[in-house]
């Protein structure tokens, strides 16, 4: 506080307090006001520096919730990316393989990915990394979905143009998945069970109980249905067109005739042990342009046992019931 000043009044000969002039009062008033304002500013700064305001507390809670939401969204996007990658793989190795289409080049699938100027404004945020990462990932997935959608459209239209080809091409397992069978010999070189020499095996051998039904792998015409005396035993050969034929050998019973039109899933005969065979099995073989190919590459229709049964029922609708018979190995 300011000290009070006194002086001797020559007229009254008394001590009297010195009074400030208006200018002096204004000067000291300004100094006092400025000091109070500065003190208030310093107190507010110190409080906000060490103690968040109620509004900041609300913002902090909202910011925490937003970060958790972005983290959850980021996880969902990763799952979506994983599913998209699986769809891309199926597109290249399954759908396009069926139609003899080349896989979509990686350069096309990667088109449109990368940074975007549209997200540049996010750089002004205090912590933009999470938001920018999610935003860029969403844009990347959107571009890849668009490209994948265009690819599936191409596959769809190609399939419409190739319906007859798809109906004829061998694409199902010759024995129902509900039946007890096992693979005893794969495609390629092996030791011949009779000569014990390494020889080429142009099909696969599927062993099982004798009498199992053997189904046609695709629409076509029966060209051979007889007893082969050179090793195949009772066999059926189906010409599917487009350069494809399929052979079903070592049957116990043949249920079709040469020249007969057959459909996918139709029963051709039963599994047996005829011809040059070491036990009940089916020797299943596919040739393309008279060249043997691995039948395992033609099991496109991954049917369940129930779906396979429905397919077989549709194929034999209007015909007499076939007797159950067979199993195989060559």
Q: Is residue 55 part of a domain?
A: no
- Radius of gyration, CA atoms only, the chain: 43
For the segment 146-150, the average pLDDT, to the nearest whole number, is 79
Same domain flag for 41 and 85? no
Residue 329 has pLDDT above 60, yes or no: no
Q: Is residue 271 part of a domain?
A: yes
For the segment 1-28, the average pLDDT, to the nearest whole number, is 71
282 near 268, Cβ under 8 Å?
A: no
Same domain flag for 43 and 128? no
- The CATH number assigned to the domain holding 288 equals 2.70.70.10
Question: CA-CA distance, 106 to 93, in Å (whole number)?
Answer: 14
pLDDT of residue 291: 93
Residue 284 has pLDDT above 90, yes or no: yes
User: For every residue of 18-81, which 3-state class applies, written as one string?
Assistant: CCCCHHHHHHHHHHHHHHHHHHHHHHHHHHHHHCCCHHHHHHHHHHHHHHHHHHHHHHHHHHHH
Same domain flag for 10 and 131? no
Q: Please tell me the least confidently modeled range out of 5-9, 213-217, 297-301, 325-329.
A: 325-329
Residue 82 has pLDDT above 70, yes or no: yes
Residue 71 has pLDDT above 80, yes or no: no
To the nearest whole percent, how much of the chain has pLDDT over 70?
78
Q: Is residue 57 part of a domain?
A: no
Same domain flag for 186 and 287? yes
Question: CA-CA distance, 294 to 204, in Å (whole number)?
Answer: 8
The band of 161, judged by pLDDT with boundaries at 50, 70 and 90, is low
pLDDT of residue 321: 34
Range of the domain at 12: 6-50
Residue 307 has pLDDT above 70, yes or no: yes
Range picked from 6-10, 47-51, 206-210 for highest mean pLDDT: 206-210
Residue 226 has pLDDT above 90, yes or no: yes
Phi, psi of 261 (to 5 degrees): -80, 135
| Secondary structure (3-state) at 219 | coil
Q: Is residue 174 part of a domain?
A: no
Same domain flag for 29 and 124? no
pLDDT of residue 125: 53
For the segment 32-37, the average pLDDT, to the nearest whole number, is 87
The band of 322, judged by pLDDT with boundaries at 50, 70 and 90, is very low
Same domain flag for 156 and 189? no
Per-residue pLDDT tens for 177-192?
Answer: 888 888 888 887 777 7
The band of 323, judged by pLDDT with boundaries at 50, 70 and 90, is very low
The chain-wide mean pLDDT, for the chain, equals: 78
Same domain flag for 115 and 232? no
Same domain flag for 237 and 121? no
Residue 126 has pLDDT above 70, yes or no: no
Residue 220 has pLDDT above 80, yes or no: yes
For the segment 134-159, the average pLDDT, to the nearest whole number, is 78
How many structural domains are present in the chain? 3
233 near 187, Cβ under 8 Å?
A: no
For the segment 188-215, the average pLDDT, to the nearest whole number, is 83
What DSSP state is assigned to residue 6? E
The band of 318, judged by pLDDT with boundaries at 50, 70 and 90, is very low
Residue 127 has pLDDT above 80, yes or no: no
Same domain flag for 230 and 290? yes
Residue 327 has pLDDT above 50, yes or no: no
Same domain flag for 187 and 307? yes
pLDDT of residue 259: 95
């Amino acid at each position: 506080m300011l000290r009070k000043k006194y002086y001797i009044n020559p007229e009254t000969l008394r001590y009297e307090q010195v009074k400030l002039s208006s200018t002096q009062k204004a000067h000291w008033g300004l100094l006092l006001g400025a000091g109070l304002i500065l003190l208030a500013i310093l107190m507010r700064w110190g409080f906000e520096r060490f103690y968040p305001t109620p509004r900041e507390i609300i913002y902090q809670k909202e910011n925490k919730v937003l970060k958790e939401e972005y983290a959850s969204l980021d996880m969902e996007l990763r799952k979506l990316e994983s599913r998209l990658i699986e769809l891309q793989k199926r597109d290249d190795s399954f759908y396009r393989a069926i139609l003899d289409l080349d896989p979509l080049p990686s350069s096309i699938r990667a088109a449109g990915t990368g940074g975007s100027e549209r997200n540049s404004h996010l750089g002004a945020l205090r912590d933009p990394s999470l938001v920018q990462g999610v935003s860029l990932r969403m844009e990347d997935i959107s571009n890849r979905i668009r490209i994948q959608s265009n690819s599936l459209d191409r596959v769809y239209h190609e399939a419409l143009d190739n319906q007859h080809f798809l109906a004829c091409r061998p694409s199902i397992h010759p024995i129902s998945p509900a039946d007890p069978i096992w693979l005893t010999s794969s495609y390629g070189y092996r030791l011949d069970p009779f000569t014990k020499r390494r020889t080429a095996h142009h099909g696969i051998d599927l062993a099982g109980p004798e009498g199992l039904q053997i189904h046609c792998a695709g629409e076509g015409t029966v060209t051979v249905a007889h007893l082969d005396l050179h090793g195949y035993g009772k066999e059926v050969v189906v010409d599917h067109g487009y350069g494809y034929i399929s052979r079903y050998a070592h049957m116990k019973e043949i249920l079709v005739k040469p020249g007969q039109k057959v459909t996918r899933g139709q029963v051709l005969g039963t599994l047996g042990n005829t011809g040059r065979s070491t036990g009940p099995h089916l020797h299943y073989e596919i040739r393309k342009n008279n060249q043997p190919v691995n039948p395992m590459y033609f099991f496109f229709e991954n049917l369940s046992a129930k779906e396979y049964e429905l397919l077989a029922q549709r194929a034999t609708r209007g015909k007499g019931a076939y007797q159950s018979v067979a199993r195989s190995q060559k």
